[in-house]
Structure 1
């Protein structure tokens, strides 16, 4: 099945009939503004402001019903910008009231501000009218309601990103601390965040403490924290390096306190990361076709959880290409006359989804025989650049996972496009 964006755009325009009341809502933190037009773009009624609570939402719905009755219209569609998180409560409330809710691209709203009055002026009332015009012209996207499992994945992955950021920041600060206080530690442990190095920093963090210790005491201390600990050779080297350390000897108590705080933060972030990843795997088990998707060798549970958390129900996508548009991975070109611009990725989509699709494809190229063969063919036979091959394979992955979700069938390696014998 071919996916053509033009056909989708035509469908969005055709969906707006002469019986529609089209409402645009300018979203804010506390007070929203709504304007309404008919299918020809003629303004209907006066603007309304309403608060971000149930009383305000009810007032908006009553206003919509009054305008429908006055103009003898029988249906409505409400468009809004997905501004931060402020739009979520209103969109979910309207959806529960069986009102069609759509979103418009904030970038396009900014570009369409001069369509109405040919001025650069900006106000909440004007923005609401611009949004209504855009919905009338078909420049909107459906809101895909998701089940609890997909909502869990989205929240858990957002939380995981925050924890990973804290964990990386803490590890970087530990590297900095070691470089200042005990730079010779890197000669014993290549990675100062490995178990042996962290155990050493917990037990005897500064060179001054190590200088007076016995080799066997250090090994016994390691045994109290680790099942498999470094041996006598490393303990002896540690003491020798500590005696000739060039690390700072000033404000040692302050540095030790700083290290304690960093190690506590490292323990906390590590424990939280394990818990979140465990919950992600549990949420994946609630989705019927998860086992089929994990049947793709090289696709991990965490990566799949990140993809599904951003896409929602995969079977709602008509084609893999629509998933690429959702991620902002579709191609765009700027050309005029004889001038041909460079074709680039739009990046108008979900950045987290782009990241997980890229990571998933890199893992497949390394571990999946079919994708490994395709990448080899692209690079060595078709002479593509490696990154261009990866981006092409992202499109194949998108089509495969959407097809599996829509048909609820297992991954079949034989269905992956076969290559000429030269690829072997």
Structure 2
């Protein structure tokens, strides 16, 4: 007979999470379910059987919800409860305001995922009806069932990193859109220009030469040809020096000068399209400067948190890449385990097992999409520079059984980066290749050698 307790690690983690939630939603507290909107707030006071004790509609802004919380607390005490727990969906920014008002009144505050509310809405009466009154009751019911979560603690420094991360993501999206616009315009009016460099938008020489064609000469390719190759190269060199560069790629400059003779494209639109490209290039370069400034600020926040040395100890992970990930996770110490952080990103595998049936394992994809994107971007450099990740990727894509495709292996590496980030930050120890490869179990090779 086994002497094991029969409680798995997953059971223990779940029990710990439920204990934390029960501390926020004690049985002595009534539950205040609030469906937030811009100027209409539906407030429901319910018990733990989701029986509605009181209901009221407040037509006010989020910062005026203090009156609603005071009313709910009074109704809870009148029903025999010692306090009240506030619950809402984390939509928009109103929930942050509500959390601040609840903290000012020492009222516990939890959040319910909108997806949980949507599923419960169908299970409530087998309809897709959506009303503020119904949603407020569902929020209270899910909270009573502990199907809620604790929102990220309010911290000024981590909050600043989160806002800078959102700003960086917005700039990247804008820059990608501008690049696609320029590429589409050139494909229409001057396709030969795109063939002059392998990666045009990563080449300072190409961008400088295009600025000369579009700005100095106003998109008049005949005027640019009259300069001659030697004077065109000198103009490109001056433009690169003005932008902070040193030496241009004369091969790209000569290729672009030769492309001035190309007559492919819609010539009637060429001059107007090149003028538009000039304006988009200016916006793109401004965004490049803004992006560099934002990334410098994010690294400064990491320095303020004293995390730069720890996160950059992971070979192949830059300070900017780590800051982009942490801007989405918040303080990793709020996650009880590294797997919880991976689940938060939606990178945990979803297993399908029943009896002798084994289904196909896929990623859950239910977490923060921007966190997945930040971790995915970090994979590209880490996979090349980090021998541990490179070996792991090689093993996953070449093993005989259960061989993964390249995207699947990259997702596994992204999850590993998140686990290692959680480990180095929560333990305060730098990344170690031996530990990352073999773990910290007593049977690990480095442990036996010790």
The alignment's TM-score, normalised by the length of structure 1, stands at 0.88
Which position in structure 1 is the counterpart of 2:342?
A: 324
Aligned partner of residue 51 in structure 1, secondary structure:
coil
Q: Is the 1:3–1:322 contact (alpha carbons within 8 Å) kept by the matching residues of 2? A: no
Please identify, of 23-32 and 185-194, the stretch whose mean Cα deviation from structure 2 is larger: 185-194
Q: Structure 2 matches for 1:319-398, cutoff 5 A?
A: 319-333=337-351, 341-381=359-399, 383=401, 384-385=403-404, 386-398=406-418
Distance 1:120 1:310 in 2: 32
Please identify, of 12-21 and 70-79, the stretch whose mean Cα deviation from structure 2 is larger: 12-21
Which position in structure 2 is the counterpart of 1:204?
A: 213
Q: Structure 2 matches for 1:168-207, cutoff 5 A?
A: 168-193=176-201, 194-205=203-214, 206-207=220-221
Deviation at 1:382, TM superposition (A): 5.6
Please identify, of 377-386 and 144-153, the stretch whose mean Cα deviation from structure 2 is larger: 377-386
Deviation at 1:372, TM superposition (A): 2.2
Distance 2:223 2:174 in 1: 29
Deviation at 1:230, TM superposition (A): 4.2
Distance 2:185 2:130 in 1: 50
Deviation at 1:70, TM superposition (A): 0.8
Aligned partner of residue 25 in structure 1, secondary structure:
strand
Deviation at 1:185, TM superposition (A): 2.9
Aligned partner of residue 260 in structure 1, secondary structure:
helix
* 1:413 to 2:436 alignment: no
Which position in structure 2 is the counterpart of 1:159?
A: 167
Deviation at 1:218, TM superposition (A): 1.3
Which position in structure 1 is the counterpart of 2:55?
A: 46
Deviation at 1:7, TM superposition (A): 2.2
- Runs of 5+ unmatched residues, structure 2: 1-7, 215-219, 241-245, 446-450
- Runs of 5+ unmatched residues, structure 1: none
Higher relative contact order (CA 8 A, sep 6+): 1
Distance 2:199 2:34 in 1: 53
Distance 1:256 1:389 in 2: 42
How big is each residue's C-alpha offset from its partner over 1:32-80, in whole Å with a ceiling of 9 and x where there is no partner?
111111123322123342422433x121121122123212322221111
Q: 1:66 to 1:374 in 2, by over 3 A?
A: same
Distance 1:21 1:287 in 2: 38
Aligned partner of residue 227 in structure 2, secondary structure:
coil
- Could you say what the CA RMSD is over the residues aligned between the two structures, in angstroms? 2.8
How big is each residue's C-alpha offset from its partner over 1:270-321, in whole Å with a ceiling of 9 and x where there is no partner?
1111111111111111113331121111111122112111111111211111
Which position in structure 1 is the counterpart of 2:248?
A: 229
Please identify, of 32-41 and 44-53, the stretch whose mean Cα deviation from structure 2 is larger: 44-53
Which position in structure 2 is the counterpart of 1:306?
A: 324
Which position in structure 2 is the counterpart of 1:143?
A: 151
Q: Is the 1:104–1:134 contact (alpha carbons within 8 Å) kept by the matching residues of 2? A: yes
Which position in structure 2 is the counterpart of 1:37?
A: 46
Q: Is the 1:213–1:239 contact (alpha carbons within 8 Å) kept by the matching residues of 2? A: no
